[in-house]
Amino acid sequence: MNIEPQWLAGLIGVIAPLIVRWITGANLSRRWKSLIAILVSSVIGFASSFLSGQFDTVSILQSIAIAFSISQVFYDQVFKDLFNKPTEL
């Protein structure tokens, strides 16, 4: 079975917001969280390209872009409300 790196990066990108949230907690600025999200997406891109046997520049960059894009969309549409629940008095 040959898995395309973009599919693997996309699948893992769905859980990337949880990974970033776990690493950063709630005490870092938005800028640092974004940088960590890019770093996590880069690791996902490299790993998915390597594991799929398509370890070339184009596959790596596509996998990074897909992982980052999907993680940002999932964060905005699904996890943002869960992570930022208003505190009740």
What pLDDT score was predicted for residue 83? 67
What percent of the chain stands above pLDDT 70?
75
Q: What digits encode the pLDDT tens for the residues 7-43?
A: 666 677 777 777 777 776 667 787 887 888 888 889 8
Contact between residue 41 and residue 67 where contact means Cβ atoms under 8 Å apart: yes
20 contacts: CB under 8 Å, gap ≥ 6: 33, 36, 37, 40, 71, 75
